[in-house]
Amino acid sequence: MHFFKTEKVKNYLRSYLKESVWKELGSILIIIFLVFAFRSSFYEPYVVPTGSMIPNLLVGDFLVADKWSYGLKVPFSDLFGDPIYITSQKDPERGDIVIFKYPHDTSMNYVKRLIGLPGDIVEVKDKEIYVNNIPIIPTNVTEKVRKKIMEDMDDKFKKLNFTFWEAQYGRHKFIYQTDNENFFFSDFSKIIVPQGQYFCMGDNRDYSGDSRQWGFVPKENIKGKAKFIWMSAIFPWNKDNAAKFRPWRIGLYLDK
């Protein structure tokens, strides 16, 4: 009699444990789905791997991208082609820092500043940008600002002869830099931005692979707008820069 009671208890425990495991697994899968759905449609973290957006973004900056700045899309819809939007789409604005899928390899994410809208005429003359034949006129930054930028400068750029400029473009005010001894990108012939595409450039003007080299960014490739920095660190395994932690950059708002 005792044997049968023991077996009954064992069977009950097996059944209960199996049911509990499946419930826990189901809960975990639901949480994972909701997290990835949130990342797909609202906010997603990115890390900056290169110095093309210095001085505004440094190698090792961890960004939060606002993915519904340009319209709320159905979660995961961009995995199967063009994204499907729930709300009406908003067009990116001049000067936005945008995160997008690299046109020649959509598995890679790039971050650049949006310079040319569809239909714009973009030209670079002596490192000065002209949009629709109107220059984006910069001003020199103060020596105090320059020193602060150089303190944070990535190691590989510290010895270069940079000039820092402040510019107002659209509603954005930002600083960019040029290398006084690098003339490779000094000029870029006039080009008309096609409909449905955008012209993007890095703020580290002479050390950025961007639309001047590889062409335009299709609208459907744009994933969102860089909003703020939630962490800034270079880890010991990075080959190009010494390990460092920049707590003063945490919370830096980018959509200025």
User: pLDDT tens digits, residue range 147-197?
Assistant: 999 998 988 898 999 999 999 999 999 999 999 898 888 999 999 999 999
Residue length, the chain? 256
More confident residue, 216 or 183: 216
Structure tokens at 131: 């949009």
Among candidate residues 112, 127, 223, 225, the one labeled active-site is: 112
More confident residue, 107 or 8: 107
Among candidate residues 40, 52, 69, 232, the one labeled active-site is: 52
The answer to whether residue 112 is catalytic is yes
Burial 6-43 (b: 16+ CB within 10 A, else e): eeeeeeeeeeeeeeeeeeeeeeeeeeeeeeeeeebbee
Query: Is residue 239 scored above 90 in pLDDT?
Result: no
pLDDT at position 37 is 47
Chain center to CA of 43: 11
pLDDT at position 184 is 81
> What is the C-alpha separation between 165 and 123, in angstroms, rounded?
18
> What is the C-alpha separation between 234 and 50, in angstroms, rounded?
11
SS3 assignment for the chain: CHHHHHHHHHHHHHHHHHHHHHHHHHHHHHHHHHHHHHHHHCEEEEECCCCCCCCCCCCCEEEEEECCCCCCECCCHHHHCCCCECCCCCCCCCCCEEEEECCCCCCCEEEEEEEECCCCEEEEECCEEEECCEECCCEECCHHHHHHHHHHCCHHHCCCCEEEEEEEECCEEEEEEEECCCCCCCCEEEEECCCCEEEEECCEHHHCCCHHHHCCEEHHHEEEEEEEEEEEEECCCCCCCCCEECHHHCCCECCC
pLDDT at position 4 is 47
pLDDT at position 243 is 83
The answer to whether residue 88 is catalytic is no
Least confident of 56-60, 66-70, 122-126: 66-70
Structure tokens at 242: 């010494």
Q: Taking all residues of the chain, what is their mean pLDDT, rounded to a whole number?
A: 84
Query: Is residue 238 scored above 60 in pLDDT?
Result: yes
Q: Which of 212, 221, 190 is nearest to 111 (CA)?
A: 221
pLDDT band at 45 (very low <50, low <70, confident <90, very high): confident
> What is the C-alpha separation between 153 and 40, in angstroms, rounded?
32
User: pLDDT tens digits, residue range 49-60?
Assistant: 999 999 999 999
pLDDT at position 32 is 55
Starting at the edge strand that comes first in sequence, how are the strands of the sheet with 134-135 ordered? Answer: 134-135, 128-131, 121-125, 188-192
pLDDT band at 3 (very low <50, low <70, confident <90, very high): very low
